[in-house]
Amino acid sequence: MTTYVTILPMGTSSKSVSFSHFLRNSGEILEEVKHVDVRLARRDGPDIFFGTDQRETAVRDSLGYLARALSAVLRDPVLGVHVTPAISGELSWLGWLSEEDQSEFLSHFLATIRACEDTGGYEPLSRLLNRWRASAQIMHDPELASLLVADRGEDSSISINRPEA
Amino acid sequence: VAGQPNTTPQIRRPNKPQSLEVVARNSKIAMKWDEFSNMHAAAYQEVYDKLSSKPDYDDGNRQHSLMGEVGRGVFDGANYVRWQIDVTSGGRIWYFIDPAPAGKGQKLRSGRVIIDEIYPGHPKSTEKKPGRGRGPGHR
């Protein structure tokens, strides 16, 4: 059985145990959850996060405050000019995009932050960053980028089959 | 209204979701599919199943649309959003989703997925290279 403690950023500690360990020791884990978040690792599905509602609400509220503050700063024509390069500095891959794409990214980023703060769910922001990061990786790799801009020749739509084992 | 027949609006049972047809945009891409799927059959089976059932599913990790310049593509004169799915370590498949229904008289389908390009990734040094038989001294 593997049990280990992961130290997350901002000083938050999180414990990770297997789901089967949790089933066998649920009382013990419930006691620990009062003090620390627990990740239940599963082989046959996504890991499960186990924490108190109080801590989770605090995290969501804090994210909401930060999102609203960032959104307000980015909307400000004077402040936004200074903050945008700072965001580029934090997202190292942003510089791999063309200027037009960087501008498009910031527009999407701001709109998604607003939507997330309205709905209280931040998964769309995570997905957006994943899409843009993957796009930047392609732009940064001449081999990949050349594949996508190369002349494809005549389009013909040819059926393909599922591979056999 | 009095004197008029009582007509009850009919609702139709929704069609069962159909699998999407998976096509290559041209013979070159079809040949790439054959070549790489022979080398990594299990991985390409998984990709085929995902593309034919849920091509527009963004899992936040290995399957998602692209953005910006590389997120736009053209097939047969029409504009599409380009999607990416990771297939092997470093390998990627780019595709378009064409949800348009088939024309009259054709087999009912939900649409088609057009494979735009395939990048196999860089083979690991320990991987067997394709097309090489046994070396000298083997029978």
Identify the closest residue of chain A to B36 by CA–CA distance: A163
pLDDT at A43: 87
Residues contacting residue A137 through CB under 8 Å, at least 6 positions apart: A93, A96, A144
Is ipTM > 0.85 here?
no
CA of A104 vs chain B CAs: smallest distance (Å): 7
For testing contact with chain B, the best of A93, A144, A157 (most B CBs within 10 A): A157
Q: Are B76 and A134 an interchain contact pair (Cβ–Cβ within 8 Å)?
A: no
Please check the confidence at residue A138 and state whether its pLDDT lies above 80: yes
- Say if CB B132 and CB B100 are below 8 A apart: no
**Quick one: DSSP state of residue B26?**
S
Confidence label for B57 from pLDDT (cuts 50, 70 and 90):
very high
Quickly list H helices, chain A.
Answer: 19-24, 26-33, 53-75, 77-90, 99-119, 123-140, 142-149
Chain B, 43 to 82: residues with Cβ < 8 Å from chain A are: 44-45, 48-49, 52, 58, 60-61, 64-71, 73, 75-76, 82
Hey, which of A103-112, A132-141, B114-123 has the most confident mean pLDDT?
A: A132-141
Q: Are A131 and B65 an interchain contact pair (Cβ–Cβ within 8 Å)?
A: yes
CA of A107 vs chain B CAs: smallest distance (Å): 11
Q: Are B68 and A132 an interchain contact pair (Cβ–Cβ within 8 Å)?
A: yes
For testing contact with chain B, the best of A128, A148, A151, A164 (most B CBs within 10 A): A148
Cβ of A111 under 8 Å from any chain B Cβ? no
Cβ of B31 under 8 Å from any chain A Cβ? no
The chain-wide mean pLDDT, for chain A, equals 84
User: A47-69 burial by CB neighbour count: b if 16+ within 10 A, else e?
Assistant: eeebeeeeeeeeeeeeeeeebee
Q: Which of B70, B76, B114 sits opposite A138 (nearest CB)?
A: B70
Hey, which of B30-34, B88-92, B125-129 has the most confident mean pLDDT?
A: B30-34
Please check the confidence at residue A94 and state whether its pLDDT lies above 80: yes
The rounded distance, in Å, linking the Cα atoms of B129 and A160 is: 24
- How many Cβ pairs within 8 Å bridge chains A and B? 108
Whether this prediction's pTM lies above 0.90 is answered by: no
Express each pLDDT in A122-135 by its tens digit. 889 999 999 999 99
- When mean pLDDT is compared across A14-23, A59-68, B13-22, B99-108, the lowest value belongs to B99-108
Residue A78 corresponds to which tokens in the numbers above?
A: 């004077």
